[in-house]
């Protein structure tokens, strides 16, 4: 088994994206570049838009979440996540070849969840949700949650 040496990757908050009723934090993770390629970010928004449109109206959600755009070494990973039912994270994964960013394939049914860099974003967002919403249960603060943003090299 050949394993590549671990290399840090920059995780950068790109924007707070408004899509209909949804407010989504968009993050970039990139291999050997500062941020994900613009064409991959746009492809990620396309699949996110499609996935968010399928959220059942019966699901109690908060219309907030995050979108990870990971411009990887051999593959690109996209994850679309949102909060629902108080403490549940809905997580959907898409992958494309690194040389064809727009050819995203839905991977959630395969069991693929995240890579080690993606998990850092998820851990940060979990903490932000707990601090701003769950621990603040008398007055959950979605605005404070949306202002919590990760920018670090991991």
What is the rounded average pLDDT of the residues 31-46? 98
Is residue 129 over pLDDT 90? yes
Is residue 51 over pLDDT 90? yes
DSSP letter for each residue of 31-89: SSSSS--HHHHHHHHHHHHHHHTTS-TTS-EEEEEEEEEEE-SSEEEEEEEEEETTTEE
Element (H, E) at 138: none
- Lay out the sheet containing 88-97: strands in order across: 105-106, 88-97, 75-84, 61-71, 22-30, 10-19, 152-153
Confidence band for 3, pLDDT divided at 50, 70 and 90: confident
How many CA atoms, within 13 angstroms, populate the side-chain half-sphere of residue 63?
9
Is residue 24 over pLDDT 90? yes
Is residue 1 over pLDDT 90? no
Is residue 139 over pLDDT 90? yes
Q: What is the pTM of this model?
A: 0.97
pLDDT tens per residue across span 64-120: 999 999 999 999 999 999 999 999 999 999 999 999 999 999 999 999 999 999 999
Is residue 2 over pLDDT 90? no
């Amino acid at each position: 088994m050949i394993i590549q040496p671990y290399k840090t990757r920059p995780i950068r908050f790109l924007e707070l994206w408004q899509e209909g009723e949804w407010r989504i934090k968009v993050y970039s993770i990139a291999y050997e570049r500062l941020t994900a390629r613009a064409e991959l970010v746009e492809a990620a928004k396309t699949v996110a838009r499609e996935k968010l449109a399928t959220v059942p109206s019966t699901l109690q959600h908060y219309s907030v979440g995050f979108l990870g755009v990971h411009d990887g070494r051999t593959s690109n990973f996209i994850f679309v996540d949102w909060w629902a039912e108080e403490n549940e994270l809905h997580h959907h994964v898409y992958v494309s070849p690194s040389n064809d960013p727009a050819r995203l394939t839905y991977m959630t049914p395969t069991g693929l969840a995240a890579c080690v860099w993606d998990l850092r974003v998820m851990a940060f967002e979990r903490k932000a949700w707990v601090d701003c919403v769950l621990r603040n249960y008398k007055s959950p603060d979605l605005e404070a949650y949306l202002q919590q943003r990760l920018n670090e090299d991991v």
